[in-house]
Amino acid sequence: MSGPQPRRTGRWREALAGVAAAAVAAGLGELAAAVAAPESGPVVVVGAALVDLAPPWAKDAAIGLFGTADKLALIGGILLVLLAVSGAAGVLEARRPPWGRVVFIALGVVGAVAAATRSGAGPLAVLPSLVAGAAGALAVTLLVRRLPEPDQNRRRFLAWAGGSAALGLLAALAGTALQTGRRAVQALRDAVVLPRPTTTAIIPAGAALDVDGLTPLITPNADFYRIDTALRVPEIDPSGWRLRIHGLVAREVTITWDELLALPLAESTTTLACVSNEVGGSLIGTAVWLGHPIRELLARAEPTAEADMVLSRSIDGFTASTPLAVLQDDRDAILAVGMNGEPLPLEHGFPVRMVVPGLYGYVSATKWVTELEVTRFDEASAYWTDRGWSERGPVKLSSRIDVPRRGQALTAGRIVVAGVAWHQHVGIAAVDVQIDDGPWRPARLATAISADTWVQWRYDWADASAGSHTLRVRATSADGEVQTAVEQGVVPDGATGLHTVDVEVG
Ligand SMILES: Nc1nc2c(c(=O)[nH]1)N[C@H]1C(S)=C(S)[C@@H](COP(=O)(O)O)O[C@H]1N2
Ligand SMILES: [Mo]
């Protein structure tokens, strides 16, 4: 290259500004990942995206070159690419501002898209990469301003660059330290071998309808909604786990992980729903849980006559108030250790959680549970009750249209309408569909697994005419209750109203 440079500060120092900014970006990004989205560190997600995007010949070449060390080589390769790109960004920012900043923002967006499109990505998955992009852009701007003029002392700039890189390194180390415990518990969880169930779940033939776009009957763990107050997922080593049953009982009972696994463990299929699920919302899922009846353990402790509530407590302090009677009747209210054939995932309560058919999660489904205090509703209250929610939370009769989706382009003629309906521990007797202001027409119900699970339904809309239409669904319980059209918000004990979907038929 020739020609005069506007500001000859030395290309290497400009590149160094970019690289130091990249260190800040990567470090803060990894720290953000450790706090908010453990599997979404910017370096790793960009790497995973590169692997997925790389043409097969490049993958083969990489595996050939690096053999079994190709994963490590990949991370090394990404770091080298990032080094080159960030160095170039430093030069750009010095000579063609704001293009250096733009490079960092673009890298952040690439990382965010990569993180968001990974399977099982949580809502916070984009955060680490966006933090990294913003931090990099800010750092490169500030560092380039500190580039020395030809007659100036260069040490100051080197100190700024070195300090920035050190800051990035410290943040990365803090992030790693935060993630170490989680990795260790993840390894313990992956090593758990669950005992064979004494009873296996039976999914009747005809329980799952074959309709494109319909929610699967059993929700895969990676897609199961997650709701909790835990900023950091509790890390419990099962060998140290204990459940203590105390309070209004004849005798205190404590049970360890090994003792629990030695008890009869049965599979049961239960649909878990969140009280915060809006009409038509997705805070609901069905899993095959493996666990031991809570009723049996309560029987050992012998609740006294005045007790009417069990306040379950998680290791992180969350509490739920469950009516004692619900935990003593014959339903599958369990201390669960397994979810869809695996140990509980960390974020779903590893090693042990409660699952109680018929109640919203906030009053029953305590994850990371360590304590059952037998007490009274007039003596104790739970986490969400103290924040304005109802002390009792039986699941409300509800239904949802999954297909067609809102705004989906449809062609006139026959259109399949399908979805799910639920009223856990009561059961669903019928589902009806209404088109515009027409009559309610019966949908066909799939075979229910049990009253404790949602049931799929399908309605064949035979003569859909061109134009805008509104589809509406309404369920009827096994006990004759008809789902109300009265709209209520989620506070204090769950939403009501009918799910409607507007569609355009062309
Ligand atoms: N320890 C703990 N357990 C908890 C909660 C929580 O905040 N902390 N949230 C409850 C709520 S409100 C619901 S809906 C369910 C959700 O369980 P999931 O995240 O496995 O779907 O967990 C329940 N158990
Ligand atoms: Mo919830």
pLDDT digits (tens, 9 = 90+) for 12-23: 999 999 999 999
- pLDDT tens sequence across 183-209: 899 999 999 999 999 999 999 999 999
335-358 average pLDDT score: 98
Q: Measured in angstroms, how far is the CA atom of residue 458 from the centroid of ligand 2?
A: 28
Q: pLDDT value at position 4? A: 44
DSSP string covering 36-79, please? H-TT--HHHHHHHHHHHHS-HHHHHHHHHHHGGGHHHHHHHHHH
Ligand 1 — pocket residues by CB below 6 A?
224-230, 272, 274, 314, 316, 318, 348, 361-362, 365-368
Both tokens of 470, joined, read 């509104």
Q: pLDDT value at position 401? A: 98
Nearest ligand, measured from the Cα of 284:
1
Ligand 1 mutation pick, 232, 277, 367, 424, max ligand atoms within 8 A of CB: 367
Report which protein residue has its CA nearest ligand 1's atom 20: 348
93-100 average pLDDT score: 94
Closest CA relative to residue 340, chosen from 191, 201, 226: 201
Both tokens of 484, joined, read 């109300």
Report which protein residue has its CA nearest ligand 1's atom 12: 362
- pLDDT tens sequence across 276-293: 999 999 999 999 999 999
What is the share, in percent, of the chain residues with pLDDT greater than 90? 78
Q: Measured in angstroms, how far is the CA atom of residue 364 from the centroid of ligand 1?
A: 9
Rounding to the nearest 10 degrees, give the CA dihedral for residues 352, 353, 355, 361.
Answer: -170
In ligand 1, the atom with minimum distance to the C-alpha of 354 is 24
d(CA 174, CA 17): 23
Nearest ligand, measured from the Cα of 361:
1
pLDDT band at 59 (very low <50, low <70, confident <90, very high): low
Q: Measured in angstroms, how far is the CA atom of residue 49 from the centroid of ligand 1?
A: 31
Q: Which of the two residues, 282 and 117, has the higher pLDDT score?
A: 282
The whole-chain average pLDDT of the chain stands at 92
Q: pLDDT value at position 3? A: 42
Domains observed in the chain: 11-179 (no CATH), 221-387 (3.90.420.10), 398-505 (2.60.40.650)
Ligand 1 mutation pick, 219, 225, 228, 389, max ligand atoms within 8 A of CB: 228
Report which protein residue has its CA nearest ligand 1's atom 13: 361
Report which protein residue has its CA nearest ligand 1's atom 4: 366
Residues 6+ apart with CB under 8 A from 330: 295
- pLDDT tens sequence across 290-306: 999 999 999 999 999 99
Alpha helices (runs of H) in 96-225, residue ranges in sequence order: 99-117, 127-145, 155-191
Q: Taking ligand 2, which is a single-atom ion, which protein residues have CB atoms under 5 Å away?
A: 227, 274, 361-362
Nearest ligand, measured from the Cα of 364:
1
Q: Measured in angstroms, how far is the CA atom of residue 423 from the centroid of ligand 1?
A: 19
Q: Is residue 122 predicted with pLDDT exceeding 80?
A: no
In ligand 1, the atom with minimum distance to the C-alpha of 314 is 1
Q: Which H or E run contains 28? A: helix 11-36
Beta strands 319-323; 441-442: pairing state: unpaired
96-123 average pLDDT score: 87
- pLDDT tens sequence across 32-58: 998 888 778 888 777 667 666 666 776
Q: Measured in angstroms, how far is the CA atom of residue 225 from the centroid of ligand 1?
A: 10
pLDDT band at 9 (very low <50, low <70, confident <90, very high): low
Q: Measured in angstroms, how far is the CA atom of residue 358 from the centroid of ligand 2?
A: 13
Closest CA relative to residue 16, chosen from 150, 134, 157: 157
477-503 average pLDDT score: 97
Burial call 413-433: b when 16+ CB within 10 Å, e when fewer? eebebbbbbbbbbbbbbbbbb
Q: Is residue 1 predicted with pLDDT exceeding 70?
A: no
Q: Measured in angstroms, how far is the CA atom of residue 314 from the centroid of ligand 1?
A: 10
Nearest ligand, measured from the Cα of 340:
1
What is the share, in percent, of the chain residues with pLDDT greater than 70? 93
In ligand 1, the atom with minimum distance to the C-alpha of 349 is 20
Chain-centre distance for alpha carbon 162: 38
In ligand 1, the atom with minimum distance to the C-alpha of 228 is 7
Q: pLDDT value at position 7? A: 52
Distances in Å between the Cα of 143 and the Cα atoms of 15, 61, 103, 167 are: 11, 38, 15, 13
